[in-house]
Amino acid sequence: MSDSTNKTQRPSRLRKQLILPAEHGSWSWLLVPFLVGTAVAETFNLPVILVLLGGLAAFLLRQPATVWLKVRQGRGRSSDEPLARRLMLLLGGIVLLCGVGLLLYGRIVMLSLLLPFAALLLAYVQVGRSRQTTRTLHMELIGAAGLALMAPAAMLAAIGTSYPAVWLVWGLMAAQNVLGVFYVRQRIADTHERPFNRQPLLWSHVAGLVVVGGTAVAGLIPWLAVLPFVGFLLRAFWTVQRPRPIDNIKKFGFQEVGVELLGGALIAAGYLL
């Protein structure tokens, strides 16, 4: 029996590839919106805890589901299929229990999140089926906006009613996440010396600041929430001047988490002050 066959048949162990997403920065795209939504709502109760647990389970569900799908398509280790399936059932069960718990707690208003979630999921699936060279970028952008739904989820769970700030905070957190995707991808491309169109990085940040600034002028969001986007634009100007390779990828990752936290803190402070 060949070595490759032995590798395929060997019982699978719980490896991080089966449970943890490959995009480590996506943790901040999930948790920072949750923290901001909880802070703006100024409430931390059982429904908010259920949102956190359900959101984390849904977030982790993608990885074993991806592994399982690859095995079914003949592109993965067959020995990974049973464990990936069990993880899917476990995490899916947690998501279901948290959802039922929220409904039993009277948080029917959270069903309003199904519409934006379904729209983003449909877009994600459609992009995934395409053969465009920018498919991965588009999928990351959609995923980043989707993870930002943790902000309105926390706010709706905390209060139990919808109000305009719920969706405006989602817009702010989605914008912060999306701009982070453009910036990180540019820096990674510079590190690997890959050709990369730098214009989307710059103009996405310009558009982000214009939209957020205009929303503040209209009195819909606090002015302090604009400050992070000024910083993001200045960072984009610095990046487009010339290639900016990453010296230490781990340090860079922590720096990005810090930037996300600082941006979220300023947005939350704007609502609280």
pLDDT tens digits for range 87-132: 889 999 999 999 999 999 999 999 999 999 999 988 887 887 766 6
With respect to residue 155, please indicate whether it lies within any of the assigned structural domains: yes
C-alpha span between 110 and 54 (Å, rounded): 13
At residue 268, the 3 state secondary structure works out as helix
More confident residue, 128 or 63: 63
Q: Percent of the chain scored above 70 by pLDDT?
A: 88
pLDDT of residue 5: 44
Let me know how long the chain is: 273
Q: Is residue 1 part of a domain?
A: no
In the predicted structure, residue 137 carries a pLDDT above the cut 80: yes
Quick one: pLDDT at residue 27? 87
Question: What pLDDT score does 11 carry?
Answer: 47
Is the pLDDT reported for residue 6 higher than 70? no
For the chain, the average pLDDT equals: 88
Q: In the predicted model, is pLDDT for residue 148 greater than 90?
A: yes
Q: Which one is predicted more confidently, 85 or 217?
A: 217
Q: Is 159 inside any structural domain?
A: yes
Tokens 């229990």 locate to 97
Is pLDDT larger for residue 22 or for residue 118? 118
> For the residues of 150-187, what is the DSSP string, one character each?
HHHHHHHHHHSS--HHHHHHHHHHHHHHHHHHHHHHHH
Average pLDDT over residues 77-96: 85
In a domain, 5, yes or no: no
What pLDDT is stored for residue 1 in this prediction? 42
Closest CA to 38 of 146, 148, 150: 150
CB 41 within 8 A of CB 268: no
Residue with tokens 């009613």: 161
Domain region containing 252:
15-272
Q: Give the model's confidence band at 7: pLDDT under 50 very low, under 70 low, under 90 confident, else very high.
A: very low
In 3D, which of 140, 159, 195 has the Cα closest to residue 40?
Answer: 159
* pLDDT computed for residue 272 by the predictor: 96
Helices (H) and strands (E) in the chain, counts: 11, 0
Task: Please give the tally of structural domains in the chain.
Answer: 1
- Whether 2 is in a domain gets the answer no
Q: How far apart are the first and last CA of the chain?
A: 68
- Is 50 exceeded by the pLDDT of residue 3? no
Q: Which residue has the tokens 């982790």?
A: 60
Q: What is the pLDDT of residue 44?
A: 95
Residue 4 has pLDDT above 60, yes or no: no
Q: What span, in angstroms and rounded, lies between the C-alpha atoms of 41 and 133?
A: 41
Query: 183-236, pLDDT tens digit by residue?
Result: 999 999 999 988 888 899 999 999 999 999 999 999 999 999 999 999 999 999
Has residue 6 been placed in a domain?
no
| 182 assigned to some structural domain | yes
202 found inside a domain? yes
Tell me what pLDDT residue 15 has.
60
Residue 245 confidence (pLDDT) above 90: yes
For residue 114, give every residue at least 6 positions away whose Cβ sits within 8 Å of its Cβ, in sequence order, or none.
none
